[in-house]
Amino acid sequence: MTQARAAVAGLLCVGDEILLVRRNPEQPAFPGYWSCPGGKVERNEATPPPRAAYCGLDTLALAALARELDEELGFDLHGADCRVHLLGRAVTPHYAPRRFDTLFFRIDLAAKPALRLDAREHAEMVWGRAADFWQRFLDGQLLCVSPLQRLLATLTQDPQATCVPDLGERPGQAQGLDLTEPLHGLRMLPLRSHTLPPATHTNAFLLGDAGTPQILVDPSPAGAEEYRRLGAFLDAFGAPQAVFLTHHHPDHHEQAPRLARERGLPMWMSADTEQRLRARWGADYLRGIEVRQIADGDTLCTSLGRPVRAVAVPGHDAGHLAILPEGREWMIVGDLYQGVGTVVIARPEGNMRDYLASLEKVLALAPAATVPSHGIALPGTLQIERTLAHRRERERAIKALRQQGLDADAIVARLYQAVPKALWGLARMNVEAHLEKLALDRAEKPDAEGMS
């Protein structure tokens, strides 16, 4: 488990308005998320001068808060006429690659100060009523973590609240769960799974409005304890009417048939996924389970009152399906990109040409956020753009090396020198997929520059 680093966050308040900032999409921790300004606590922080406004508060944390507010907003906490209150504390979930133990402070000001936003840290800042921000979240338009959601919900009821005792609690924490809902209607439960390193978890999703049919996406608990957690999740937050699989790879359906049998649920998947499951694990794998074949465009459930549909995105797997609500607030993209690690395009189900086309398809659909099976929700399609650009650059390099007469193993050794050799086998699969695509491209355009 990654050790949580001490951090601080400051909520600037003027009357019934608060200030929120949206993190720069280039930031490593929660890029593009709405938050309160703040950051890490350093051990050598300068102790702030004693003031009545700081009475009883952690001086090291206040020093860090003052430094962060100055760096990010050009705001002088020590020189401001303000009152400071400790709102509460929140710790990042254990599965996050970067974890923080954060103290949240409320800073009450008589008037809005002149601020200077540090564009390296944040993309924008907005003053507004907590109730309006909360409504934006309920409308699926505010990407943020659980502590901010709890803060907004509390301030909507009581704009003058100076303490949020449950600020650090996450839905399902009492049941030993780490449920997250970065966008309203997108409930995620990361489960430890037998996936490829460096990833360790696969996200299970529970989708669908309350009182309507709900679906459970990609349940794949690695063992008995994770299976128990999955059951507790379903018991606490809703009984799904179906299990939906994005594709046939085992880290997306391990123990899913068991769950379907025990709870009497049908399983939904593409025709290709069903065929590959039966071929790989035998006729008994889906025994006793009603299977519904899902095609591109089929409606799965509703979210925020709007239809949620399947979108065919072959390439990583021939039967791969993504999930997109009509409002395009988010898109579950499965393994189109990895929040941790790199997508492998492996034979026989992988096809690099189809994969690149699927990336372009998602870019054209332009969802407001994309959600991978391994990692956190991310704003917009920036990660899809980066993945597409990376694959195109890899293809150019592979083509040049192939023209020099290098075979697949030699290309891997040249291009993946910085990657541990234990992962070269996976890298070779991607190289082979690129070589296959290049051969097809050359066969279709024989007059174009080819490979030797």
> pLDDT tens across 187-206, in order?
999 999 999 888 999 999 99
Query: What pTM value is reported for the model?
Result: 0.93
pLDDT of residue 220: 97
pLDDT of residue 92: 86
Q: How far apart are the first and last CA of the chain?
A: 49
Q: What is the DSSP letter of 45?
A: P
pLDDT of residue 179: 86
The pLDDT mean for the chain works out to 93
pLDDT of residue 162: 95
pLDDT of residue 452: 34
Contact 170, 178 (CB under 8 A): yes
Whether pLDDT at 148 is above 50: yes
CA 265 to chain centre: 27
Q: What is the DSSP letter of 421?
A: G
pLDDT of residue 298: 98
Tens-place pLDDT, residues 121-147: 999 999 999 999 999 999 999 999 999
Whether pLDDT at 439 is above 50: yes
Whether pLDDT at 32 is above 60: yes
pLDDT of residue 450: 46
* 441 band by pLDDT with thresholds 50, 70 and 90: very high
Tens-place pLDDT, residues 51-83: 767 777 888 899 999 999 999 999 999 999 999
Number of H helices, E strands in the chain: 10, 19
Of 49-63, 178-192, 410-424, least confident by mean pLDDT is 49-63
Whether pLDDT at 449 is above 70: no
Contacts of 172 (CB under 8 A, 6+ apart): 178, 179, 189, 232, 233, 236, 237
More confident residue, 23 or 48: 23
pLDDT of residue 451: 41
Q: What share of the chain has pLDDT > 70, as a percent?
A: 96
State the sign of the Cα–Cα–Cα–Cα dihedral 51, 55, 59, 64: negative
pLDDT of residue 448: 53
Tens-place pLDDT, residues 321-376: 999 999 999 999 999 999 888 899 999 999 999 999 999 999 999 999 999 999 99
Tens-place pLDDT, residues 218-234: 999 999 999 999 999 99
Residue positions counted in the chain: 452
Q: Which secondary structure element, helix H or strand E, spans residue 197, and what is its range?
A: none
Whether pLDDT at 252 is above 90: yes
